[in-house]
Amino acid sequence: MDNEQPLNSKRTDSSTFGPYRQGVLVKPYERLNRDHIKWLNDASMSILNEPGIWCYNHRAANLFKAHGAEIHEEKEASGSFFWRVRLPEGLVRDAVSKAPSRFILGARKPENRLLLDAEVPRVYFGTGSEANVWIDVHMEEFVSVDDSQIKVKVPRFREIRGNTTLLCRAAKLCEQLEHLDFFIRPLNIQDSDITSNNHDANKFFASLNNTTKHVQAGLTSLERLNDVIKMAEIIAGGRKDLIKNPLISFIACVFKSPLQIVDETAEKVFAIVESGLPLVISSSPQGGSSAPIQEAGMVAQINAEILAGITLVQLIKERAPVLYGSVPVRARLDNLFDLYGCPEFNQYNIDCVQMARFYKIPCYSSAGVGDAKVPGMQAAFEKLFTHLHMAMSGAQYIHYAFGLLDRTNSFCPVQAVLDNEQIGKIKHCLREPKVDPSITADMIKMVKKVMASSHRLFARHARRAMHAGDVSSPYRFEAKESEDKALENALGYMAQLENESAPHLDQATVDRIFNEIPGLLPGLRQVVK
3-state secondary structure 191-247: CCCCCCCCHHHHHHHHHHCCCCCEEEEECCCHHHHHHHHHHHHHHHCCHHHHHHCCC
Poorest-pLDDT segment among 12-21, 112-121, 424-433, 479-488:
12-21
| Percentage of the chain exceeding pLDDT 90 | 84
Confidence of residue 147 (pLDDT cuts 50, 70, 90): confident
> What sections of 260-368 are H helices per DSSP?
263-275, 295-316, 343-359
The average pLDDT across 191-210 equals 97
Residues 181 and 206 in one domain: yes
**Interatomic CA distance for residues 237 and 183, integer angstroms:** 21
Specify the pLDDT at position 5: 36
Residue 172 contacts residue 502 (beta carbons within 8 Å):
yes
Residue 172 contacts residue 499 (beta carbons within 8 Å):
no
Residues 313 and 458 in one domain: no
Residue 37 contacts residue 354 (beta carbons within 8 Å):
yes
**Does the structure show a pLDDT above 80 at 176?**
yes
Region of 394 please: left (phi>0), alpha (psi -120 to 50) or beta: left
The average pLDDT across 509-517 equals 97
**Interatomic CA distance for residues 524 and 512, integer angstroms:** 14
Specify the pLDDT at position 209: 98
Specify the pLDDT at position 348: 97
**Does the structure show a pLDDT above 70 at 259?**
yes
- % helix / strand / coil in the chain, to the nearest 5? 40, 20, 40
Specify the pLDDT at position 463: 86
**Does the structure show a pLDDT above 80 at 13?**
no
The average pLDDT across 435-459 equals 93
Residues 276 and 377 in one domain: yes
Q: Which of 467, 483, 511 is the last residue of a domain?
A: 467
Specify the pLDDT at position 2: 35
Poorest-pLDDT segment among 275-279, 315-319, 470-474:
470-474
Residues 100 and 144 in one domain: yes
Residues 30 and 151 in one domain: yes
Residues 302 and 182 in one domain: yes
Give ∠ CA 119-396-393 in degrees, rounded to 5: 85
Where is pLDDT greater, at 464 or 134? 134
Residues 319 and 172 in one domain: yes
If one counts the domains in the chain, the total is: 2
Closest CA to 68 of 44, 38, 94, 42: 94
**Does the structure show a pLDDT above 60 at 451?**
yes
Residues 6+ apart with CB under 8 A from 36: none
**Interatomic CA distance for residues 272 and 229, integer angstroms:** 10
Torsion angle, CA of 408/410/415/417, rounded to 10 degrees?
90
Helix (H) or strand (E) holding 331: strand 329-331
Confidence of residue 79 (pLDDT cuts 50, 70, 90): confident
Q: Which of 421, 449, 467 is the last residue of a domain?
A: 467
Reported pTM: 0.93
**Does the structure show a pLDDT above 50 at 528?**
no
Residues 371 and 441 in one domain: no
The average pLDDT across 250-277 equals 97
Where is pLDDT greater, at 467 or 237? 237
DSSP 8-state class, residue 355:
H
pLDDT in tens, 359-392: 999 999 999 998 999 999 999 999 998 999 999 9
> What's the Rg (C-alpha) of the chain?
24
**Does the structure show a pLDDT above 60 at 518?**
yes
Specify the pLDDT at position 10: 53
Specify the pLDDT at position 393: 97
Where is pLDDT greater, at 367 or 479? 367
Residue type, 51: P
Specify the pLDDT at position 255: 96
Confidence of residue 11 (pLDDT cuts 50, 70, 90): low
Where is pLDDT greater, at 378 or 5? 378
Residues 481 and 443 in one domain: no
Q: Which domain holds residue 441?
A: 437-467
**Interatomic CA distance for residues 526 and 209, integer angstroms:** 11
Residues 463 and 474 in one domain: no
Residues 171 and 273 in one domain: yes
Q: What's the mean pLDDT when you consider all of the chain?
A: 93
pLDDT in tens, 27-78: 999 999 999 999 999 999 999 999 999 999 999 999 999 999 999 999 888 8
Maximum mean pLDDT: which of 304-308, 331-335, 451-455: 304-308
Residues 303 and 401 in one domain: yes
**Interatomic CA distance for residues 508 and 280, integer angstroms:** 32
The average pLDDT across 499-514 equals 96
Residue 29 contacts residue 346 (beta carbons within 8 Å):
no
**Does the structure show a pLDDT above 90 at 200?**
yes
DSSP 8-state class, residue 126:
B
Q: Which of 467, 484, 518 is the last residue of a domain?
A: 467
| Percentage of the chain exceeding pLDDT 70 | 96
Strands (E), 66-146: 70-75, 81-86, 102-105, 114-117, 122-125, 133-143
Confidence of residue 479 (pLDDT cuts 50, 70, 90): confident
CATH code of residue 388: 3.20.20.480
The average pLDDT across 122-141 equals 96
Specify the pLDDT at position 15: 54
Where is pLDDT greater, at 53 or 481? 53
Specify the pLDDT at position 7: 38
